[in-house]
Amino acid sequence: LRHGETGTRPIYGGEMVQQTDPHFRDLLLFHEYFHGDNGAGLGASHQTGWTALVAKMLSQSGE
């Protein structure tokens, strides 16, 4: 999850938006598994979309 020799995170592979955009570069995704040779994240990226929906629904149900 740390920055590599080039200053990029191996988990994002060649996705430069997540490497350079100030809104995304400090966000870490936790993938199901990783590529053995280059460390790129593979598989589902858990807790990145549906949990926000559930949190919003729970928040609204208490109002």
User: What residues does each domain of the chain span?
Assistant: 10-61
Q: Where does residue 47 fall: left (phi above 0), alpha (psi -120 to 50 degrees), or beta otherwise? A: left
Q: What one-letter code names the amino acid at 11? A: I
The larger pLDDT score, comparing residue 12 to residue 46, is at 12
- Give the pLDDT mean for 41-57: 71
The secondary element (H helix, E strand) that includes residue 37 is: none
- Burial-class residue 22 by CB neighbours within 10 Å (0-12, 13-18, 19+): exposed
pLDDT in tens, 1-30: 677 888 888 777 777 877 788 887 787 777
Prediction pTM value:
0.45
Q: Residue for token digits 């996705």?
A: 15
Residue 34 has pLDDT above 70, yes or no: no
Contact by Cβ (8 Å): 42, 35: yes
